Amino acid sequence: MKSQAALEFLTTYVWAFFVIAVTVGALYYFGIFDFSKYLPQKCVFPSQFKCLDFSLNPAEIRFKLVNNLGEDIKVTALQLTDNSAVPLSCTPPPGFDWAHSTEKDIVFTSCSGGSYIQGERTELKISMSYYAVNTPSKPVHLINGKINGKILSS
């Protein structure tokens, strides 16, 4: 008699546990527990180059920076990468002159590969090499920035 009561008790609560597990699984499957969509999008660069805005489109990456160095510079190289096994491939803009206290739109085109997938979040790392135009020896400096956001759908 006691064993029958114990067995009925266990089977009742096993079914309840099974229903809870299926419900949680369904909520996870439909994206209710995808907390990454609630994270803010951000663009982070050193204080010498303030990031004003950015957009991540399926084939291009745009961001707008301000030169706060206090001197004119020449950007010699820009590079963009992510942390995926197959690296992101983009065509960087050519080198350019940049006057101090001015904004510059920087556009990487033909982006594909890596974790750069429409509708998904990604974290991109940007490296920029530059030198000051008025410095006689023209030493090259390297700064790194980061963009974390969601790639827009077409």
Residues 26 and 43 in one domain: no
- Please indicate whether residue 90 or residue 6 has the higher confidence score (pLDDT): 90
Rg of the chain on CA atoms, in Å: 25
Residues 131 and 144 in one domain: yes
Residues 118 and 53 in one domain: yes
Tokens 């940007």 sit at which residue?
Answer: 126
Domain count across the chain: 2
- Please indicate whether residue 127 or residue 116 has the higher confidence score (pLDDT): 127
Per-residue model confidence as pLDDT tens digits over 17-26? 899 999 999 9
- Residue 144: which pLDDT band, with cuts at 50, 70 and 90? very high
What pTM, to 2 d.p., does this model score? Answer: 0.75
pLDDT of amino acid 9: 79
Tokens 């190289």 sit at which residue?
Answer: 77
Domain coverage including residue 139? 38-150
CB atoms within 10 A of CB 144: 12
Residue 141, domain CATH: 2.60.40
Sheet containing strand 73-81, edge to edge, reads: 42-44, 141-150, 121-132, 73-81, 96-98
Residues 7 and 52 in one domain: no
Distance of CA 51 to the CA centre of its chain: 14
